[in-house]
């Protein structure tokens, strides 16, 4: 997988010819990647992401029979890595939603869990924290560094490297082994599974941490969909609700809601993509400010709610509650609206353990999280404790 290229090591393309890459992948039971499966030539340079003597095996695959996820193709990218998993929601599966969700112990294979934890511990010093591919890979014109992703311009396409960086409250805190791989492959899986709702910008995935996507004219609005009253950031629904707000982003909220309570219906709370932080905005303001036309907003809002509803159904089948998430959209060169960025990842979404939610909510306890909310909560508690000590 992609590894740290910030260590003062030179990454020369001559050292990573196809024979070398093929032999290295053989050692780690990974199939050689055929550059022909990618629609862009950038894919063949992906091996240069691995500096000499620092190649670390990717996060163990629970089913070695799955082929490489790099077999995404255009115009309809397919992730063969998960081709044997069917996530279609049938009428019978819909009925199962009213039954008690499976417990976490049933969902997690203990042997698999120990294997993953061992791999993470052994790779703690090999996080992908920084990349500088524009200095070594031909054709990459520039680099944009986000909180988690490094995005490179290759002309008609964007090369997006999902790093292991962990952020909270718009600050980068640390790096977590394999986090980038988990985020990238989670998004790829969801991109593939949601094509019946909306097309996406994915072209190819030549590496576990890399996605090559079509360039789009990005709408400067993040579409946040929420199913529960929760959160700890300034723009979270619980924060504003607890401060007395009863109309948020055009949504009328009833009195008497408690933290972590399910909303009567899913709501859309869009924010503008500001430089330093997100700013809540109403649908009318989006149109009035020229951020989107009314027709564009209507179409995207419908797609966002449909994506979230589908994501909730799929998550519940696997013992999770998709609490809220954010989506980003853009217009392709042909004018079509595409889903971009990431989908239903632990970074862009809140997930709770389903089978303990009701009991914990009734007892006034926080739900069990499978996302980065515990980091937010801990920072908030530490800040509150520090401020109280000053008074």
Q: What is the block-wise mean pLDDT of the chain (391 residues), using blocks of 10 residues?
A: 36 31 35 38 39 43 39 37 29 45 60 80 88 92 93 95 90 90 97 98 97 97 98 88 97 97 98 80 97 98 99 96 98 97 96 96 94 78 81 72
pLDDT at 273 (0 to 100):
76
pLDDT at 66 (0 to 100):
32
In CATH terms, the fold of domain 13-214 is Phosphorylase Kinase; domain 1 (3.30.200)
Residues 6+ apart with CB under 8 A from 110: none
The rounded Cα 115 to chain-centroid distance in angstroms is 23
Coil, strand or helix at 165: strand
**CB of 2 closer than 8 Å to CB of 180:** yes
**CB of 382 closer than 8 Å to CB of 232:** no
| DSSP class per residue in 185-215 | HHHHHHHHHTTTT--B-EEEEEETTEEEEE-
Burial of residue 306, with CB atoms counted within 10 A of its CB: 0-12 exposed, 13-18 middle, 19 or more buried: middle
Q: Look up tokens 């109309």; give the residue.
A: 247
pLDDT at 144 (0 to 100):
95
pLDDT at 112 (0 to 100):
75
CA distances, 192 to each of 201, 225, 251, 381 (Å):
11, 20, 31, 38
pLDDT at 168 (0 to 100):
82
DSSP single-letter state for residue 368 = P
Q: Where in the chain is the domain with CATH 3.30.200.20?
A: 13-214
C-alpha dihedral, 205 to 208 to 210 to 216, nearest 10°: 50
As a whole number of angstroms, the distance between CA 67 and CA 44 comes to 18
Kindly report the CATH class assigned to 217-390: alpha beta
As a whole number of angstroms, the distance between CA 39 and CA 2 comes to 20
Q: Where in the chain is the domain with CATH 3.30.470.20?
A: 217-390
The rounded Cα 356 to chain-centroid distance in angstroms is 24
């Amino acid at each position: 997988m992609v590894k740290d290229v910030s260590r003062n090591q030179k990454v020369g393309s001559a050292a990573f010819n196809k024979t070398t890459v093929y032999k290295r992948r053989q050692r780690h039971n990974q199939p050689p990647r055929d550059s022909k499966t990618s629609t862009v030539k950038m894919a063949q340079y992906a091996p240069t992401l691995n500096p000499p003597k620092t190649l670390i095996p990717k996060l163990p695959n629970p089913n070695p029979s799955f082929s490489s996820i790099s077999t995404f193709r255009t115009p309809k990218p397919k992730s063969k890595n998960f081709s044997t998993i069917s996530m279609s929601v049938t009428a019978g599966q819909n009925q199962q939603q009213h039954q008690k969700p499976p417990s976490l112990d049933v969902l997690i294979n203990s042997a698999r869990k120990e294997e993953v934890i061992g791999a993470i511990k052994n790779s703690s010093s090999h996080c992908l924290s920084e990349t500088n591919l524009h200095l070594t890979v031909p054709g990459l014109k520039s680099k944009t560094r986000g909180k988690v992703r490094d995005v490179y311009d290759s002309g008609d396409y964007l090369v997006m490297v999902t790093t292991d960086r962990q952020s909270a409250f718009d600050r980068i805190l640390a790096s977590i082994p394999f986090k980038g791989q988990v985020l990238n492959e989670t998004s790829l899986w969801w991109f593939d599974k949601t094509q019946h709702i909306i097309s996406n910008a994915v072209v190819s995935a030549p590496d576990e941490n890399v996605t090559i996507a079509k360039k789009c004219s990005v709408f400067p609005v993040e579409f946040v969909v929420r199913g529960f009253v929760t959160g700890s950031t300034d723009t979270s629904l619980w924060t504003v609700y607890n401060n007395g707000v009863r109309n948020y982003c055009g949504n009328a909220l009833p009195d008497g809601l408690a933290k972590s309570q399910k909303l009567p219906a899913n709501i859309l709370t869009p924010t503008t993509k500001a430089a330093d932080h997100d700013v809540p905005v109403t649908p009318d303001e989006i149109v009035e400010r020229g951020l989107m036309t009314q027709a564009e907003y209507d179409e995207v809002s419908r797609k966002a709610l449909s994506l979230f509803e589908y994501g909730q159904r799929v998550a519940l089948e696997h013992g999770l509650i998709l609490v809220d998430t954010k989506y980003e959209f853009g217009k392709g060169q042909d004018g079509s609206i595409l889903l971009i960025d990431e989908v239903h990842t632990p970074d862009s979404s809140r997930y709770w353990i389903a089978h303990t939610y009701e009991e914990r909510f009734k007892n006034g306890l926080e739900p069990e999280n499978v996302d980065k909310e515990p980091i937010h909560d801990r920072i908030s508690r530490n800040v509150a404790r520090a401020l109280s000590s000053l008074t």
